[in-house]
Chains A and B, each alone.
Chain A
Amino acid sequence: MTALVIDGLRKTFGGVKAVRDLSFTIEPGSVTGLMGPNGAGKSTVLDLVCGVTKPDAGSISIFGEDTAGLRADQVTRLGVARTYQVIRLTTGLTAVQQVITGCYLQRETSLLASILQMPWARQRRREIEDIAMYLLDRVGMADRADILAEAMSYGEQRRVEIARALGSNPMLLLLDEPTAGMNVQEADRIGTLIQALRDDGLSILLVEHSMRMVADYCDHAVVMNFGAKITEGPPADCLDDEKVQDAYFGRQRDADSQ
């Protein structure tokens, strides 16, 4: 079944048409790169998919389920997880605690059993701690599990945020510029991780500003400008497209000021 179907999506903020008549799909087990200059509307698309903001028109369906009328936490329960363009980790929690918050949907423990610390609740919590450590290991952060996230470097916080997103064992992962502010080696490690996750069966929507990341790590690319899709297809073809070149290098300043 198709992982994500976006059809005729539209969203306006005041006078700004952030997303206009956008349609595309994500095939299961693939990495789709969502590209476009700053202000193109990429993050708004993620917010709409997650149910954080409601579309003015159009529909979104995730693994066949229409998300219209669902709260954000209900959309998450369909198997969606995300990271944020501006890191949003919880203040005062260590790396492993951050990932445990991400495992909330996997807790399998009733409120009462959890409060009374019943033996099975403790057992499950230990399993969750193991899962959290495993996920930190996957993003290369296992040795920093007990460090407060706010004491970490920017790139490290990004990786913790990815581990947190994986905590709910999602089927569709939305990453909003996960390599922003990283050097090339760091970005390549994230790229390798993204492909490994895809090989595990995850469907991934990767919002990326960098053409190189999309060319190297995505199976499919969708390019937006001024809220609308300008082209889609294999990454290499998209990057050569005149309209894309124009959007990135020709009219960059217009897009920024919109």
Chain B
Amino acid sequence: MQWLSDFWAAYGSLAGLAMVNAVFALACYATLSTGVLSFAPVAFGAVGGILAAQLVLHTTIPLALIVLCGGMAGLGFAMLLAPALLRVEGHWTALATVALVLVTRVVVRNVPALTGGDNGLTVTRPLSMAVPVVTLLCVMLGFRALHHSWYGIASRVVRDDPAVAAGLGINIRQTRLIGFGVSGFAGGLAGVLLVLVQQFVSPDSFYVHVAFVMITGAVIGGSFHWLGPVLGAIAVTLLPALTETLVPDSQDIGSGIALLLALVFLPRGLFDPRVVLLQLSLAQATRTRDPRYERR
């Protein structure tokens, strides 16, 4: 088992970060699956993460409870913002959330009592790897349940064609509000995990790089099933480390190239259940096609 602890010493924090990013990517997927591109999980994460930092520093609440509090704080913040964000149309929502990310940083810098300001806060609480692992698994189970629920069914139609969804009696706004709620909860959890894994929080913790990882994770992994963003975020986190060992000082070039390749060759991402389904369907369609219905 020596190799395992060696591996853990060398790559433990990277594995932790991969799980954090997976939860962030799921938070992004939550609104994306209702047809809304939003970078707001960065701000939801900041709220959850900073609350967690304060709870760790000033209380002795068990970690599991702190994680949950962060999620609830993200959810609350999301429900506060969602009505305003959904007032603007389509692409403007995305732009409004970009503005939100920028505003978040300004606020975090200027409330040093809570956030440590530019110097940041060191958050020391020994962290077992079980915390991010269990949190990620729970979030994945949650997304699986959502996927199979009536909300999941409604969101697929809303994303594909809002007018058709309305024609089926689906309330578009309500569906998207739920999407934001899920995004807020997952974003809050991701923020807590980020603070706990890095044992540090500063204005740089929650900034555009998180948004970049989130969106590349969803694009590379695939945004048509919850498993896609998880795989994508893990890949996007591990890729720079990998390219760094192969090509020193290559920095983010690796993920940039991976994003471009994914966009060109896998427009629906690494994981897309439709690919298999389509092959099966085409095979079955030609086998069972009823000649009576064929156009001549």
Interface residues of A (CB under 8 A from B): 50-52, 71-73, 76-77, 81-82, 84, 88, 90-94, 97, 100-102, 104-105, 107, 109, 111, 114-117, 140, 143-144, 146-148, 150-156, 164, 167-168, 181-183, 185-186
Interface residues of B (CB under 8 A from A): 145-146, 148-151, 153-154, 156-157, 160-161, 163-172, 178, 224, 273-274, 277-278, 281-282, 284-285, 288-290, 292-296
Question: A84 to B166, alpha carbons, bound, how many Å?
Answer: 13
Question: A52 to B145, alpha carbons, bound, how many Å?
Answer: 31
Does the CB pair B274–A90 fall under 8 Å? no
Closest-CB distance, A159 to chain B (whole angstroms): 9
Closest-CB distance, B283 to chain A (whole angstroms): 9
Does the CB pair B150–A104 fall under 8 Å? yes
Does the CB pair B167–A90 fall under 8 Å? no
Question: A88 to B278, alpha carbons, bound, how many Å?
Answer: 18
Given known pairs A90-B157, A92-B224, A92-B277, the reply for A114 and B166 (CB within 8 Å) is no
Does the CB pair B292–A185 fall under 8 Å? yes
Given A73-B170, A76-B169, A152-B285, 5 additional A-B pairs, CB 8 A: A88-B161, A94-B277, A147-B281, A148-B278, A153-B293
Given known pairs A72-B166, A76-B167, the reply for A91 and B160 (CB within 8 Å) is yes
Across the interface, name the chain B residue whose C-beta is closest to A167: B168
Question: A181 to B294, alpha carbons, bound, how many Å?
Answer: 11
Given known pairs A104-B150, A148-B277, the reply for A168 and B169 (CB within 8 Å) is yes
Q: Which residues of B contact A51 (CB under 8 A)?
A: 166
Does the CB pair B171–A73 fall under 8 Å? yes
Of listed B150, B274, B288, B289, residue having the most chain A CB within 10 A: B150
Question: A149 to B156, alpha carbons, bound, how many Å?
Answer: 15
Given known pairs A77-B169, A101-B168, A104-B168, the reply for A151 and B278 (CB within 8 Å) is yes
Q: Which residues of A contact B153 (CB under 8 A)?
A: 97, 100-101, 104
